[in-house]
Structure 1
């Protein structure tokens, strides 16, 4: 049994480790768990558990039921849902991005909302051209500039319904004066907006014919992704 109380002098890392151990112990149970059983599972005194559980309850990671037993809270379930959704997106989208690049397109990316001023590139497949735009997975890009940013602004949290007229965007030198992009919105279950697929590269390669060809590819990819994720892409 752990005899060292969690205090401010112990440091944040130890407290976080113990809190995560509590969440992990609860998650391993098929049914809600009593405080006594949680103490046995973690090796922590009940007083230590109660102190940390108060913080976990405030974060909705743990909930105390009416019968006094503990279970995972709503935020823990939300994290699990988001985790599953993220890996589902990768499973669905990455082959589509690779396919477009394999057909000679510009570099293919998938962008999602990050915060009120930026989007994040979560998937990226570089084109086979000798010159590329400089974007990598994990890069933060402006939300108010670029084809993908424009779509994220239009759909994220706005309730705007997708139509044939609003799911496709083109940008020419907005984010970078030497680069251009086409992008198309992707939707999931209940037509919740997921993010935007884009094809981007040097602006000099974005002729009218090239744009038309890339528009067709990115729309086809977005339609396939949306249908695979349980959404309805506009016809």
Structure 2
């Protein structure tokens, strides 16, 4: 692989730096934005961006900003875990949405965060901090707590060692409290969040299990605080999670793994 002028950096690693600069909250970027985000020289960024645009990985808008291209999006849909999961979960998510008219979201674990891979939202529902493709913290989001609770001791301790960011006055930041919550989550397979990530937003989440008993995703309903009692929503969320799990091949005789 040809090397750039920076020791230890390949051309491919720099291309990835450019692509990974795009986020759900910053999906259209200028060359100047990309230069700041990557820390590379403007001339280098310009060359890489033009190469990516030429092959359809990026697209240039009329205002001069760049977005992820259709070819790159098509490639992303081939991810072996997320696409079948989204397809199987869709009917259950649609039923939840029809019954509750609230945000319904599906997330998977990536590193130390939960990544939203699908969401159905009502126009009048509470505003959320992240969109599809966005990332949520594990210690204070509904889907995050479910994934953290079933991710094993090593993951839990790494998250705790990295520090627990406070998002609202209700965000749990005490390691012992988070350990206790994750233990309860493993026991019940569910998590409830009340204004811990966003003021005015509550969440009820449950696990999704594959044929081997591995928790592969989390399903949640996010509602405006005090608009719906979590206890009233929980049975529907759990039933949907069980339905998706059965569609993935799980049945009650398969024990759920916890990491």
> Considering only CA atoms, is the larger Rg found in Structure 1 or Structure 2?
1
1:133 aligns with 2:127: yes
Which of 8, 11, 31 is matched with 2:3 structurally?
A: 8
Which of 104, 107, 117 is matched with 1:108 structurally?
A: 104
TM-score (norm 2): 0.54
1:95 aligns with 2:77: no
TM-score (norm 1): 0.59
Unaligned 5+ runs, structure 2: 15-77, 155-181, 255-259
- Equivalents in 1 of 2:187, 2:252: separation in Å? 12
Aligned to 1:225: 244
Q: How does 1:60-209 map to 2 (within 5 A)?
A: 83-116=79-112, 118-127=113-122, 130-134=124-128, 135-157=130-152, 165-207=187-229
Post-superposition offset of 1:127: 2.7
Contact persistence 1:112–1:119 (CA under 8 A): yes
Residues 1:83 and 1:233: Cα distance change in structure 2 (over 3 Å): farther
Post-superposition offset of 1:221: 0.6
Post-superposition offset of 1:206: 2.7
- Equivalents in 2 of 1:138, 1:192: separation in Å? 22
Q: Which runs of structure 1 show a deviation greater than 6 angstroms over 4 or more consecutive aligned residues? A: 159-164
- Equivalents in 2 of 1:163, 1:183: separation in Å? 10
- Equivalents in 1 of 2:248, 2:195: separation in Å? 31
Q: Give the match's secondary structure for 1:225.
A: helix
- Equivalents in 2 of 1:105, 1:217: separation in Å? 13
Post-superposition offset of 1:143: 1.1
- Equivalents in 2 of 1:111, 1:227: separation in Å? 17
- Equivalents in 1 of 2:138, 2:228: separation in Å? 22
Residues 1:158 and 1:224: Cα distance change in structure 2 (over 3 Å): farther
- Equivalents in 2 of 1:178, 1:214: separation in Å? 17
Contact persistence 2:149–2:185 (CA under 8 A): no
Q: Give the match's secondary structure for 2:226.
A: helix
